Amino acid sequence: MERLRRTMLFMPGNNPSMLQNAGILGADSVILDLEDAVSLTEKDSARILVRNAIKSVNFYNSEVVVRINPLGTEFGYEDLDVIGRVKPDAIMVPKATEADIKSVSEKLDKIEEEEGFEKGSIKLFALIESAYGLENVYSILQSSDRIIGMLLGAEDLTADLGIKRTREGEEIFYARSRVATACKACKVAAIDTPFADMEDMEGFIKDITRAKSLGMTGKAAINPRQIDTIHGVYAPTEAEIRYAQRVMEAQEEAKREGKGVFSLDGKMVDAPIIARAQTTLNTARLAGLI
Amino acid sequence: MKIQKPAKAGTMESNDIYIMVQPNDEGGVILNLESIVMTQFGNQIKTVIMETLKELGVEDAVVTAKDRGALDYTIRARIETAVKRGM
């Protein structure tokens, strides 16, 4: 099913209150987190709680994604085995490499067969948060047909690069561009790193806008208060929607008149402009704006 | 499944339940439950706890439960975690 992924909201995996409210907050996807949000001593507890939540909590229209622990830790494979059997929409693999994605995918093949789930029905998100991951983003994407998106994790990435993370985010310009381009090439979602400062609304809007302008298609949120702002930036404006509608109308008219090329407001309209108009209208439709 | 040592799971936060399990050498399950919604849901919570213990094959245990308004899925999860930790 085609769906929007403008927001992916992180929810701590060991917090019943947050888990049971995750679906009513309006995020396109919720990420039930077993990794950073859960202390080492509570990994077992969170895994069981998230498993039960997926079985019995209504997440309404939000896509349910579970971030498991890295496969290199003692928790990663057990997370995958327990969570895979309750069939979340997707698993998010942290610090992803080609080998990790292949290994997770093979394990899911086995789980799906044992549980009688449709093959390939559990999707994957790869978390790009190391220099290796970034430089190999395209081959990681190619490692499994299950991948439907990538999340750029800028905190870990800049730590790995040994550089400072700033409010303006100049230092992740290359990472955003690279992830966005690779994701576009493979037609999967490119999700931007979260913005941590809840008090800096102006900086937050700039940050979303900058990532969007480079081709990121959505953003991770770490607080429900961030959802509406992200949706606002990702929604096409009324003027953009009207223009896209006029392009499509003009195209219809040109077709009727047998014209191959046509103009609108004195400017030539060609295939990329039509494609952009279609994308705008599709996004507007999925967001319920038209 | 036999409880070998005392173990706990859950928290005292809202919508959660704190569970402690201990071995019971005298046999059977002894349940001590406190809940902020005891009057309305006390019996239901007890049923869920006893059912979960049975599913896990626990026949002998002393279970202390302090409920802060947990839904069934949370009660089941916290019992399972405590039992596995106590094995």
Alpha helices in A162-237 (DSSP H): 173-186, 201-213, 227-234
Closest CA–CA distance from residue A20 to any residue of chain B (Å): 9
- Give me the percent of chain A exceeding a pLDDT of 70: 100
Short-list A123, A221, A137, CA closest to A176: A137
Yes or no: say if A8 and A290 are a contact pair by the CB < 8 Å rule. Answer: no
Which of B16, B51, B75, B81 to probe by mutation at the A interface, max A CB count within 10 Å? B81
Query: Among partner residues A16, A48, A56, which is closest to B70 by beta-carbon distance?
Result: A16
Furthest-apart CA atoms within chain A: distance in Å: 70
**CATH homologous superfamily of A7-234:** Phosphoenolpyruvate-binding domains (3.20.20.60)
Partnered with residue B35 across adjacent β-strands are B67
Is A45 within 8 Å of B72 when comparing Cβ atoms?
no
Q: Is the pLDDT of residue A1 over 80?
A: no
What is the average per-residue pLDDT within A224-234? 95
Residue B27: helix, strand or coil by DSSP? coil
The C-alpha angle A30, A126, A57, rounded to 5 degrees, equals 25
**pLDDT by position in tens, chain B (length 87):** 789 999 999 999 999 999 999 999 999 999 999 999 999 999 999 999 999 999 999 999 999 999 999 999 999 999 999 999 999
What is the identity of the amino acid at A147? I
A210 within 8 A of A234, measured Cβ to Cβ: no
DSSP code, position B34: E
Residues of A in contact with B78 (CB under 8 A): 45, 49
Nearest residue of B to residue A48, measured between CA atoms: B77
The full length of chain B comes to 87
pLDDT at A263 over 70: yes
User: Where, residue-wise, is CATH 3.20.20.60 in chain A?
Assistant: 7-234
Please answer yes or no on whether B74 and A49 come within 8 Å at the CB atom. yes
Report whether B52 contacts B46 (CB < 8 A).
no
Q: Does the pTM exceed 0.80? A: yes
Comparing CB atoms, the residue among A17, A45, A53 nearest residue B73 is A53
How far is the C-alpha of A46 from the C-alpha of B20, rounded, in Å? Answer: 17
pLDDT grade for A186, boundaries at 50, 70 and 90: very high
A181 has a pLDDT exceeding 90: yes
Considering only the top CATH level, what class is B7-85?
A: alpha beta
- Domain residues of chain B, as ranges? 7-85
A49 touches chain B (CB under 8 A): yes
B81·A20 Cβ contact <8 A: no
Q: With bands split at pLDDT 50, 70 and 90, how would you rate the model's confidence at A287? A: confident
> Residue range A66-90: average pLDDT?
98
Give the residue carrying structure tokens 């895979």.
Answer: A84
Tokens of A214: 């480079």
Is residue A225 less than 8 Å (CB to CB) from chain B?
Answer: no
Residues whose CB is less than 8 angstroms from the CB of residue A221 and which lie 6 or more positions away in sequence, other chains included: A7, A8, A9, A10, A27, A194, A227, A230
Interchain contact, B71 vs A20, CB within 8 Å = yes
